[in-house]
Structure 1
């Protein structure tokens, strides 16, 4: 990823864990039988994301699959997203 896209790839110690680090809009969902070719595609179902916005990490214990954020976490994510949107302008 670093060489192909010219990105800084953090070391494992630098990766946040137990946190929400971004917000995105689901543009489409595809099944393995009809997916767009991509080396990033794994599993039976793929979510194609748009309007991706990195945010300051918000602590949150995750879960498998899609799940609803606890109210306080959602409030913090919305606040962080708002700050990120303002900084992007």
Structure 2
């Protein structure tokens, strides 16, 4: 399983508040170690890796998580608590 965390940088160069909050929750709950990669969706650069992933997976909200498993379609989570319940909790059980 490969987990990618996509967080947004706003047009003014600041990190999105919700992204900051989710990253802090990941850190506080020792879940950041389960994330394979963090990618930035930079509003100032429509070709940034995160913006391209958002377009590819038709995601309009940040942050989001992309969960890839061999032989399966990638799953996208835009809600932190659902992501934790369905993906992270089983990994730590």
TM-score of the pair, normalised by structure 1: 0.28
Structure with the bigger percentage of strand: 1
Structure with the bigger percentage of helix: 2
